[in-house]
Structures are given as structure tokens and as C-alpha cells.
Amino acid sequence: MNGTGSCWAFSTIAAVEGVNKIVTGDLMTLSEQELVDCDSAYNQGCNGGLMDYAFEFIIGNGGVDTEDDYPYNARDGTFGLIRNTKTTIRSAFDNNFHVSTIGVFTGRCGTELDHGVVVVGYGTENGKDYWIVRNSWGSDWGEAGYIRMERNLNTSTGKCGIAMEPSYPTKKGQNPPNPGPSPPSPVSPSIMCDKYFSCPSSTTCCCVYEYGRHCFAWGCCPVEGATCCADHHSCCPPDYPVCNVQAGTCQLFYNKPNDFYDWYCGPAAYIQISNWQKPHITVMPYLDVSWIQKSLLLLLCIIFLLISPSLGDRTQLKRQRKAIEISIGVGVGGSGSGSESPTASPSPTDDSCGCSAPASPPSSEPQPSDFPNLKQYYAYLVIQRFKQSITCDPNGVIQTWVGYRPCTYQGFYCAAPPDSPDTPTIASVDFNGFRLCAPTVAGFVDQLPDLALFHANSNNFSGPIPDLTGLPYLYELDVSNNIHSGPFPADVLAFSNLIFLDLRYNLFAGSVPASVFALDLDVLFLNNNNFFQPLPADLGSSPVAYLTLANNGFTGPIPRSICNASKTLVEVLFLNNRLSGCLPYEIGLLSIATVFDAGFNQLTGPIPWSFGCLLKVEQLNLAGNLLYGEVPDVVCRLAKDGNLANLSLSGNYFTLLGLSCWDLVKSQVLDVRQNCILGLPEQRPPSECSKFLFRPKHCPVSHYIPCSLSNCSVKPAASKSTSSEYMTYKALHQPPPN
């Protein structure tokens, strides 16, 4: 993607131009080329860079040249600095973003940061808030090179991730007089592979060891602009850039008219030359200092043009350049983390090209050799980055997240993954009850590739659940009692090992994919969210043992397919939804069920006699519905012949009780208050009963008993359980407020 990697330079210069105009009233065009040529300590020219480093370079350099003094020449060594167009970066963004947009952009886009823009203003149109964003794709794109993007969305990332990593410069005072142009600057003598390791000029950085989409060890290919081969040990020159590692050759490919690279086909698959160009085998030692510190792509360069009081006074004037004094914004974006003004940078060295020498990497940074293995070092980086995002920690948990042994951090547990039996790493995270606050768990849980369990009950984590498909070993996911929002996290459908899924007490909304109920789960807790949809017709195909859908907006009838769960379903809560229709007799086939709760819905009809086969049921709740007729004697006999401890039928329209039911009323096992039963206290008024009973009835009276009661009685339970002792009922108990 030639040309996309210079976005950091364009965005940096746009921000500096803007703050200079605001402070001095002088709008001048500054030099992107100087950043690309000279800011090579951490940034990589056309191969990408970060805004924070660019701002630090300008501060340390005493300013930046104007475009007139340091003109743009569209070159950065081997790579051309080409102002971005829609064509050159079409593979980096969702297609919706490339359409020339008039009006406020509301289309789809992702949040993987790999392009930089600059926010220059904001406004509101027809009640929709928006940012005014300047892009670098030319004036024929969008609205004369600008776009209006949605603002104030209900997400911490902002539209297209615009709020994820903002930074901005500040400035104090007027500019000194222009002393004239500075001499041209040569290309940096070294190539930065990452923050700590560089290769000599006229070579190419190639990754030797990659893990979790990050490079942790580098080698130097002895050819400039080379292609790094997939074996991580060889490379090909730019004139034969296609690696054929198996054959040990470098092959030619060509650029088709549509700008896509492709292989030659047929007999002319290879260019016939007298001697094959062998891959350049490089000496690529594993270097401890080659680990990167940031998880974001180096192309990340989203900034906000926000103005705050100056946090530092830069008065050093570079010889022969028109200087713009800036300081890095602290506390809102960029890399600042405090309120103190940064220490002034020393005057740059007086070298011939006007470029400051690269800064030395900080010596206090932990090195990979400090850790038991590479996996634990990578986990350390992920944990420390997440630690910086935590905004409250009432129990002082994160104070333990220090040192070179992440397996000893509170809440983290290690084990060796199946593919590395001798390499223990973070395999389990248990934050239950920690009450930590963080705007998102994205970039944390999804960046621990060997994670098997993630339990985060009772915290203050928000935002959507990130894409967890990169965690092949995950089998327990509990994010209950947080403030997560968005749709159901459909990525869980890809987990073949998942057996425990707990999303209760969050702000998830919308529908639940029917295929969720086909997952090989033991536990599925979805209660106390905002899910709204009919129950899937094949609900009974779910192998789940403990299911709670309580306190949502599920609608429609209870599917007759529930009989297919007769050998698996132990506890089920349909409590407090909007279910309707007749009670299916198939419920009576749930032979191992101990809890069946469909209270407070809109179910109607008589109770099928098949319910008398629920010999193991202990809690049967149908209260708060529109049921009518007689309470069957065979159901009440479950208290004697089975394990029935509680039968809740209050708030219905029953008119008769079976013979065995009267004893249950006296023993308070059966609750039939607010019905229409003569001779019992606390019943509905006669007028209310008459009004309901004269309505047309459509549900059949089912006297079918699929089991032989005389042969199916079970030994009564030794003691009667309470609702607080059942797994599903426990899921209804929300912990105290955070």
C-alpha cells in the first residue's frame, strides 16, 4: 500500500499548522517531508509512525521548516512519499468510507487503527452531532477533502475508532523571525525496525519471531526494499520480490493495469533467466531489545486538534529554520500522563542535515530476558497497557501487577497451553468482585491468546465485548454484572470449546442468534439484559443444563421442541418475559429437570397432566400468567411421589384444586392466592373472574400422561431446597452496587 504509511506526517503537520494559526493568527504551510526524512528515531518514514514521536521530534528539533524552506519531493529513500489517494489505500478501510460522502457519514467502518486523519471542528446538522475531519486523499474525495463524521456516539471508541488514541499539540507565544532556509537533510543512516532495534542503511528489517500479530525479534536483510519471506529467515530483492521458499528462488510478478499484484499463469509462470536469483539468506539473531511496546499499528496517527493552556515553553531556535514551538498535550491524548510541564529538550546537535540524532531507548524498560519465557513477556505488555486504562481500583488490586512474574499478579493464573507444554503463561483471569473500572476490555482479554477462562463478574467494564476468536482455548466466559453494551457478542459462535457463558446483568440488547442455543454449553445465563425476540423453534436442541433467560423481552410460545432436552436440561428460568400461548405437554417430558420457572409471562390454558411426570422437579413456578381450569391432582402428588418443594400458581385464574392439592395449600407448598377458587382466602374479585372466564378459550385440555406414575415415583429428597441454593436462581441475585 504505497503511500499509506505517511499519514502520521500529514496529520502531525496539519495539527501544528492549526495550533500555530490559533495562537499567532498566521496560517503557514509546514513541511511534511522534513518529518519523513529526519524523524527516524522511532518513526519509519513511509513505513508508518506515531504522532507522539513526531511531536517530540519537533520539540527536540526546535521547530519544523515551512514547505518553502524544505519542499516536498515525494521521496523517502526507496519508497515514494505519495499523498494518499482512495486508490492507494483502498484495502485499509471499509468500502463505505471510500465513497465520496456528502452530509454526515454514518456508514460502517471498523476500529482497527491504521490510518490518520485530523479533526478540525465540529457541529450539528438536523440534530446529529458531527466532527469535521480533514483527510489526505485529495480534494475530489468527500466534501472538498473533508468529511463530517458522527459524534457523541454511545461507544468509547467513537466513529471508526476516532476517539481511541487522540493526541494534540499546544503552543505558547509568537514565532521568531525566519532566518532563511536550512540545508537539505540526508536520509537517516539507519532504519528503525521498532522502538529499540534498527538495521543499517540500504537493508530491510525482517521479522524473525512473530507472536500475537507483533514482532519480537528482528533480522536485517542485506537488500534495500526487500521482500521478507514467510520462513522468517530469507528475503528477496525488489526486482524479484516473490519468495518461493520451497524452491529456494526469488520469482518475478508484475503490476496489472488495475493496480493489483498477481502471479503469471501457465507456462510463462517464471521469467527465464540463465541463473535463478537465490533468496538472500540473512543472519537474523534473536535480539532481546527488539520487543515492541505498543500494540497498535505504526500507521496509527489519529489526532484531535484541541487547544489547552501551554504545558511547556520551547524557546530553542534551530539555526536557519522558521520554528514552531509546541509541547505535547498531557492528560487527554498523546503520550502524556501528568500535569507537569515536560522538561525542555536540549539544543539539537549542529549536524549538516539539520536532523536530530535518534534518542536512546530508556534503560529502565523490562527486557524479555527478565521473564521466564516470551509468552509471559508478551502477557506483561498486555497487562501493563490495560493497567493504564483502569480508572478505579477500590481494592488495590493493580498494585500487585508489578515485576517480572505476571503469574503472581492478583487475578492472574498460569498454565502451559496444549501447543507449548513446557511454556507456562497466563491461562486464567479471575476478576470476580474486584470492582475495577475501565472503559473497555478490548486490547486486553483479546490479546491473551492462551486464555482458557475469563471471569470478570461485578466490575465496571463497559463497551462491547471485543472479538475473541483469537483465543482458541477459551471455554469459560463470565462478564456478568458489568455495564457492557451493544448487540449479543456473536463471536462466541466460533468457540468450539466454550461450555460456560454468563452475560447477565449488562446492557446487551437486540436478538440472540438461534445458533447460540446449539452451542455445546453446560451453562447459559442471559438474564437481566434487553434481549427481545421469540424463543427459537429448536430451543430443545440445546445441550445446555442450566439456562436462564429471565428478565428480558423474549416473546412467543415455549417451543414444543423442549422435549428434546429431556435428558440434559436441569434448570430453566423463563421468568418475567413476554411469553404467550398454551403450555405444551412436552414440558412434562423433562425427566431430570429440578427447576422450571415460567412465572410472570402471558402463558394461558390449563396445566397439562403430563406435568405429573416431573418427578425430579423441586421448584415449579407458573405464577403471574393467564392459566385457568383445575390444578391437576397428579401435579400436586409430586410433593409426595417426587421432590416437589414449591408450587407457585398465584396470580392466575384457576377455579378448582385436585384432591391432593388442598394438603399442599395447608402446608404452604402450593401458593394459589389471587385466583378464582371458591372457599380460599385472598382470591380475585368475582367480577374479575367472570370477565376472564367468559373469554373464548383455545388451549386444549390434555389428560395425556406420558409416564406410568406407579412405576416412576422417586425417592423424596432428604431435605427441601430453597431457591437460593439453585444455580439459576443464584444468577438472579445481583451483587450489591459497586
When pLDDT is cut at 50, 70 and 90, the band that residue 259 belongs to is: very low
119 three-state secondary structure: strand
Residue 34's pLDDT band (boundaries 50, 70, 90)?
A: confident
Q: Which of 334, 408, 327 shows the shortest CA–CA distance to 371? A: 408
Place of cell 508508518: 48
pLDDT of the residue at 633: 96
Residue with more model confidence, 259 or 706: 706
Task: Give the residue-averaged pLDDT of 72-101.
Answer: 45
pLDDT digits (tens, 9 = 90+) for 679-689: 999 999 999 99
pLDDT of residue 664: 96
- Which of these ranges, 29-38, 287-296, 542-551, 619-628, has the smallest mean pLDDT? 287-296
Rounded CA separation 591/712 (Å): 10
pLDDT at position 344 is 36
What DSSP letter does each residue of 435-485 carry, written as one string?
A: --EES--TTTGGG-TT--EEE--SSEEEEPPP--TT-TT--EEE--SSEEE
Domains and CATH numbers, the chain: 6-84 (3.90.70.10), 89-150 (2.40.50.170), 191-253 (no CATH), 374-500 (3.80.10.10), 511-737 (3.80.10.10)
pLDDT for 256 beyond 90:
no
Percent of the chain with pLDDT over 90: 42
pLDDT band at 314 (very low <50, low <70, confident <90, very high): very low
What pLDDT, on the 0 to 100 scale, is given for residue 183?
Answer: 58
What is the Cα–Cα distance from 440 to 467, expressed in whole angstroms? 12
HSE-up (13 A, CA, CB side) for residue 123: 10
- Mean pLDDT is lowest, of 104-118, 487-501, 646-660, for 104-118
Category of 682 on φ-ψ map: left (φ > 0), alpha (ψ -120 to 50) or beta:
left
Asked if residue 519 lies in contact with residue 495, where contact means CB atoms within 8 angstroms, the answer is yes
Q: What percent of the chain has pLDDT over 70?
A: 71
Separation of alpha carbons 167 and 335, rounded Å? 8
Average pLDDT over residues 44-49: 63
Q: How far is CA 611 from CA 287, 638, 732, in A?
A: 70, 9, 25
**602 vs 175 pLDDT, higher one:** 602
Site of grid cell 488495590: 396
Q: Cβ neighbours of residue 161 under 8 Å, at least 6 residues apart?
A: 109, 110, 111, 112, 113, 302
Residues 21, 25, 28, 34, CA torsion sign: negative
Mean pLDDT of the region 516-544: 94
3-state secondary structure of 517: helix
Give whole-number Cα distances, 58 to 17, 65, 360, 534, in Å.
12, 10, 17, 60
pLDDT surpassing 90 at residue 384 = yes
Tell me the per-residue pLDDT of 607-616, one tens digit each, with 9 for 90 and over: 999 999 999 9
Cell 493464573, residue located: 413
Beta-bridge mates of residue 479: none
Pick 283 or 28 by higher pLDDT.
Answer: 28
pLDDT class for 147, splitting at 50, 70, 90? confident
Q: Could you tell me if 454 and 707 are in contact, meaning their C-beta atoms sit under 8 angstroms apart?
A: no
In three-state secondary structure terms, 36 is: helix
| Mean of per-residue pLDDT scores for the chain | 76
pLDDT of 214 reads: 63
Which residues make Cβ contacts (< 8 Å) with residue 177, sequence separation at least 6? none
Confidence class for position 717, pLDDT limits 50, 70, 90: low
Separation between Cα atoms, residue 344 and residue 595, nearest integer Å: 69
- How many other CB atoms sit within 10 Å of the CB of residue 372? 15
Q: What pLDDT does 64 receive? A: 82
End-to-end CA distance of the chain: 48
- Confidence (pLDDT) at 252: 66
Q: What is the pLDDT of residues 458-468, one digit of tens each?
A: 999 999 999 99
What pLDDT is attached to residue 305?
31
Query: Judging by DSSP bridges, how do beta strands 578-582 and 602-605 pair with one another?
Result: parallel
pTM, 2 dp: 0.54
pLDDT tens digit sequence for 174-232 = 777 665 555 555 555 678 887 666 788 888 888 876 665 567 677 888 888 888 888 77
**Residue pLDDT, tens place only, 326-381:** 433 322 222 233 333 333 333 334 443 444 444 444 446 888 899 999 999 999 99
The burial class, CB within 10 Å (0-12 / 13-18 / 19+), for 200 is exposed
CB-count exposure of residue 421 (10 Å: 0-12, 13-18, 19+): exposed
pLDDT at 126 over 60: yes
User: Could you tell me which of 388, 492, 375 has the C-alpha nearest to residue 440?
Assistant: 388
Q: Give me the mean pLDDT over the 440-456 stretch.
A: 95
Catalytic residue numbers, as ranges: 7, 115, 135
Alpha helices in 547-705 (DSSP H): 633-636, 638-641, 661-666, 686-693
In this predicted structure, what is the pLDDT of residue 258?
34
